[in-house]
Structure 1
Amino acid sequence: MSEKLQKVLARSGLGSRRHMEQAIIDGRVSVNGVVASLGDRVAVGDELRLDGRLVHFSVESELRRRVIAYYKPEGEICSRSDPEGRPTVFDNLPRIKDERWVMVGRLDINSTGLLLFTNDGEFANRLMHPSSGIEREYAVRVMGTLTPEVQRTLCDGVELDDGPARFESVSELGGEGFNRWWQVVVKEGRNREVRRLFESQNLKVSRLLRTRYGTQKLPRELRTGRWVELDKPDIDALLGAVELRPRRGGTGLFGIAKRRVDKLRDNPLPPRPVDAGRQRRSREAAAEGRPARIQRHDGNARPAQQGGGAGADQQRKGGFLRQQRRDGRNKDPQSGE
């Protein structure tokens, strides 16, 4: 079975279908060594390259569409890697063979809450595109007084540096004194949009937590730094919101994976702390102008640490295992390790 070239590239997470069409027009894509043209198709066994780099792909009918919900903690950045060696949201995600997780939207380093990841690039792009009108809901702690007049102004719309923006709704959640919690909804994912809307009214956001993306709420059993894979009903609800059909390859959880998620609901894992030592090392490395030592959760480090001998290696290993026990990783039903 063959598929349109731009569809395969978009699903691989390399960009939207429109951007991939432009890449084909620009002559950046080749199939089996021949520069591709718009309208070409690709099948299993073909060699597909973008800008000379090999693209690993599978046809749609063979793939099971997967989505995971991740509770992002404060201090992680929304990037696959960071030159400063800071922790990223991808550090704790499970590995998937011959595929990769595509992030749906972003949260800044000081924000927390729901992040969705999928192995379907087209699905991710539709969820993020403003034309889909997907709602993002946030719980926000605001320093200052949010009067009814200010609420109306924020819902009517204000002019930001990158154009007009507005809240779909604003409602009070509670709190006392100078810091109160509010629930706000937007339909775009522009950089720091929620914070900038409040700043336009001389109000400062001290905490920001995403509680919902489209039809998917932040699971109650999820703790910071942890993830859970969504089942078919939740995925189908998101698909319906962006008018995508379910795949023949299947959607959702089966067998052992489904039992693991059911067990997680009954026995939530404890929060996974952000690696404060790694943050400190990255700042020190940046100050000294050297590459940061990146600590992985499998205990490997890059670049390799010099010296120390076998005794030091044993000491590091023991410390790592103790940390695994403290954060519950050694009994993580989803880690696959």
Structure 2
Amino acid sequence: MRNTRARRPQPAIREEKAGNTARGQVAQRKKPQGAAAGEWVSNKAALGGATARRKPVVKPGAKPMDGEVTTPPVARKAPVTRAKKLAVRAGSQKEVAKQKQLREKRLTAEQVGEERLQKALAFSGWGSRREVETWIAEGKVTVNGKVAELGCKVKPGDDVRVSGKRVQMRWADRLPRVLLYHKQEGELVTRDDPQGRVTVFERLPKLASSKWIAIGRLDFNTSGLLVFTTSGDLANRMTHPRFEIEREYAVRVLGELTDEQIAQLKRGIELDDGPAKFERIDASGGEGVNHWYNVVLKEGRNREVRRMFEHFELTVSRLMRVRFGMFGLPPRLKRGQFYELNETETMAVMKWADLKLNGEAKE
């Protein structure tokens, strides 16, 4: 069969071959000195630019060559599974209507009032308060055309700019959110861990316009109730020592306290960082060498419960927080699950803490 495909003109073919030959000669002349035969060289290096050599591929288990510097492989952190939400039955129509009303309620600009500049910018998602304070000190923040100073306040309607860029301000004009999480052992109460361990903030649901604040902390090997909120004033109300909010723990100990030791723990003992005491301590049974106790105290110093038992040379083999103030660990809340308070429950918390609807402290 005759080939009917169109053929390129012979002059075009000759021109293409000549161009390829010329480019190869230019690359050979521009090849950087010291490049070994057969070694790959980038186009940029071939044209006289900086030499960019491809890094040799080292197979696992292979020994490096003499003089070769190898970089240890970086372990990639596995993706963290988000915590599951505890499923609850919806309330009556009246309760659902009340929750919707509270969810849609907004404070007016007059009710919101003035707010410290660093707090307002942090709430609007422009970094932490410390970062904002640094920008203010450097003169990068202006309010209504004037350079802001530390301590100044802003209100809805003010023109706030950072490095000349106008900020779309957000204001705490609605109910905050409150969440109960059943922490598992092996999780850290921090936003970032250099060692790549799992943090509780990675397990929580993401927020669009604010961030979760942990009310108190739990040790790496301690499980139980953690309370999170978007209200900084509520977190301060529950954690500041002057409010003396109770914390209740279930403690499993290797050994048993004597009646005299229990009396001493109630009266108070001296630790390295000061006196400490239990407001209440009750024996809860146990098997063999393991004994359970329920203890209540009004502060939350680092490893305080464990250190109080270690004072009598008793080792805590398990520690779980079951209550924090008015919040108890729900019986149906499994480890790694969370429950978010509905609007009527959140409003009850605001009244208990003597805060405004938006979670701010009353003036």
TM-score range, shorter chain: 0.5 to 0.7
Report the secondary structure of 1:91's partner residue.
helix
Of 248, 254, 264, the residue aligned with 1:137 is 248
Aligned: 1:38 with 2:134: no
How far 1:46 moved relative to its partner? 4.4
Q: State the Cα distance separating 1:111 from its structure 2 match.
A: 0.3
- Which secondary structure does the structure 2 equivalent of 1:90 belong to? helix
Alignment partners' CA distance in 1, 2:326 and 2:167: 32
* Corresponding position of 2:205: 94
Q: What's the CA shift for 1:10?
A: 10
Structure 1 residue 235: Cα displacement: 2.9
Matched, 1:160 2:267: no
Q: Equivalent residue of 2:201, what SS?
A: coil
Matched, 1:60 2:191: no
1:44 CA drift (Å):
5.6
Partner of 2:326: 215
Does the Cα contact within 8 Å between 1:7 and 1:122 map onto a contact in 2?
A: no
Which residue is 1:280 aligned to? none
Look up the match of 1:169: 280
Q: How many equivalent pairs are there?
A: 241
1:19-75, Cα deviation, whole Å (9 max, x unpaired)? 98xx69x948945472324352243664377xxxx99862222x3310010000011
Q: Output the amino acid matched with 2:276.
A: A
Q: How does 1:1-337 map to 2 (within 5 A)?
A: 1=109, 2-5=113-116, 8=119, 12=123, 27=137, 30-32=141-143, 34-38=147-151, 40-43=153-156, 46-47=159-160, 58-61=170-173, 63-247=174-358
* Mapped partners of 1:48, 1:149: distance in 2: 64
Unaligned segments of structure 1, at least 5 residues: 250-337
Q: With the length of structure 2 as denominator, give the TM-score of the two structures.
A: 0.59
Indicate the structure whose relative CO is greater, using CA pairs within 8 Å and at least 6 residues apart: 1
CA distance in 2, matches of 1:83, 1:43: 39
Q: What is the letter of the counterpart of residue 246 of structure 1?
A: L
- CA–CA distance in 1 between the matches of 2:271 and 2:168? 40
- Who is 1:307 aligned against? none
Fraction of identical pairs, as percent: 41
TM-score computed with the length of structure 1 as normaliser: 0.63
Q: CA deviation at 1:248?
A: 9.2
- Assess, with a 3 A threshold, how the Cα gap between structure 1 residues 45 and 138 changes in structure 2: closer, same or farther: same
Q: What is the CA–CA distance in structure 1 between the aligned matches of 2:228 and 2:137, rounded to whole Å? A: 30
CA distance in 1, matches of 2:181, 2:149: 37
Aligned to 2:76: none
Q: Deviations over 1:145-169 (max 9, x none)?
A: 1112111111111111111111110
Unaligned runs of 5+ in 2: 1-108
Evaluate the alpha carbon distance shift between residue 6 and residue 187 of structure 1 in structure 2; reply closer, same or farther with a 3 A threshold.
farther
Letter in 2 for 1:59: W
